[in-house]
């Protein structure tokens, strides 16, 4: 492996590491959205009464509950997919680092 190929490999490792960090931000955001919308869905479908929550009754509350539940499930699925992407991305970066060091598996 010549010097130019090594520099290209180092650049690729840096770019992929930055992408993995960005995916980590997406994972955090999707977990937050899943938590908030899951709580909203639970509030809308369970019928609990609380002093801090608005007093919405009837079909409006059920609609809010279903919308929150659906968005929460979608955010949860998206979070799982992002986690898998992060896991596979880290494995790929480690393979690139091993290639750079000359270690073959």
- Residue 103's pLDDT is what? 60
- Residue 61's pLDDT is what? 87
Determine the structural domain holding residue 53 and report its residue range. Answer: 3-101
CA distance linking residue 55 with residue 48, whole number of Å:
10
Q: b/e for 31-42, b at 16 or more Cβ within 10 A? A: bebbeebbebbe
- Residue 104's pLDDT is what? 52
Contact 83, 30 (CB under 8 A): no
Q: Going by C-beta distance under 8 Å and a sequence separation of 6 or more, which residues neighbour residue 102?
A: 1
Q: Which two tokens stand for residue 89?
A: 């991305």
Number of domains in the chain: 1
Contact 38, 69 (CB under 8 A): yes
The three-point CA angle 73-78-26 to 5° equals 125
Contact 43, 53 (CB under 8 A): yes
pLDDT by 10s per residue, the chain, length 105: 788 888 999 999 999 999 999 999 999 999 999 999 999 999 889 877 777 767 777 788 899 899 999 999 999 999 999 999 999 999 999 999 999 888 654
């Amino acid at each position: 492996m010549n010097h130019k190929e090594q520099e290209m490999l180092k650049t690729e490792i840096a770019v992929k590491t930055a992408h993995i960090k960005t995916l980590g931000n997406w994972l955090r955001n999707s977990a937050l959205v899943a938590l908030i919308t899951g709580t909203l869905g639970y509030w809308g479908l369970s019928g609990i009464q609380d002093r801090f929550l608005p007093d919405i009754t009837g079909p409006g509350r059920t609609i809010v509950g279903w919308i929150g539940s659906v968005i929460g499930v979608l955010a949860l699925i998206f979070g799982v997919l992002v986690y898998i992407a992060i896991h596979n991305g880290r494995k790929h970066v480690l393979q690139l680092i091993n290639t750079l060091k000359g270690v073959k598996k």
